[in-house]
Every structure is written in structure tokens, then in C-alpha cells.
Amino acid sequence: MAKPDKTIWIEMLEAAAETYPDDCEADQWNKKLGKSVANANINYLVEHNLVTGLARKRMGDIDSYGNITITSAGLDYVSQDGGLTAELGVVTIRLEAEAIQALVTAQIEMAEATRQEKNLLRQQLQALSKEGHQRLANQLIRLGLEGAPRSIEWLKTLIGS
């Protein structure tokens, strides 16, 4: 069984965006990639509501997809600015693990600690899982806001309230 591949499903979304609002022929990927790979990627996009498509079934299993149509969510996903989803939806701030590591590593270097303590902290930081980085980021933001004197006044100034 094939697994979805980001480079493939991005190509599919971009092709479907070019034909929007009309359908995009899915058989091109059946020929190019094989039905198993094409189906896995199209099905993944359908499950995430980025495209719609009618599956052709044979003996209860998906044989292939005929045509697909990109949804508004799919269009917004491939647009540079995030489309209306970005304007109307929830603001998501994404901090990559590397960015968090760089910020924390800089603080470790400035800390008053022995070289051995700093090395140990850097090693532990590099060993964190994705969930560990998320918890670390949440705690750092909380501590930063709690520790900042006059944080409410600072936020008002920064946000322009």
C-alpha cells in the first residue's frame, strides 16, 4: 500500500487549482504514478477536504479516481497568502524546532553556568521530541509573560491598544 507523499499531493493540488472551478483529470496520475500511489495521495486530499472526487470502486475497493475538484480549503492551502482562511480564520503561529533550539541555545550560552552544565543542557535540548519542543515553547512564553515587568503595558504598546 502506498503512502501519501507531499511532493505528489502538492503537485495534484496545484494542477487542480489551475483548472478551478472545473474538474481536474485524475487519470493522468494513474498513468504517471500507478493507481496505488495516485489513489493514496488523492484519498489523503479527499480525507482532508482539500479536494473532492468520486472514487471508482471495483469489488468494494477503490480502483481509481476519475476527476477531482479542489475545494476552497485546498485553494487556500496552495495560495501564497493563505487565502480567505488566513484572513478569516484562526491565526496560527508556527515556531520550528530549530528556531526554538536557537533561541534557547543563545540563552544557555549567556547563562552563568559551567561549561559542563551548558553542554548537558544543549544535549538535552537536542534530544527533545516534537512534543517536548511544543511544551518547551509553551512554558517559555508563559514564563516570559509572567516574568516581564509591566507585561500588560508592554502588550498594549506592542499591539497598539
Please tell me the distance from the alpha carbon of residue 92 to that of residue 61, in angstroms, as a whole number: 37
145 Cβ contact partners less than 8 Å away, ≥ 6 residues apart: 151
In a domain, 1, yes or no: no
Residues 118 and 58 in one domain: no
- pTM, entire model: 0.56
For residue 8, what pLDDT is reported? 94
pLDDT per residue as tens digits for the range 14-70: 999 999 999 999 888 888 998 889 989 999 999 999 999 887 778 877 777 889 999
Dist. CA 152–CA 104, nearest whole Å: 24
Closest by CA position to 23, among listed 60, 70, 55, 61: 70
Q: Which domain holds residue 128?
A: 97-159
Count: domains in the chain: 2
Residues 105 and 155 in one domain: yes
| Residue where one domain finishes, among candidates 33, 61, 88 | 88
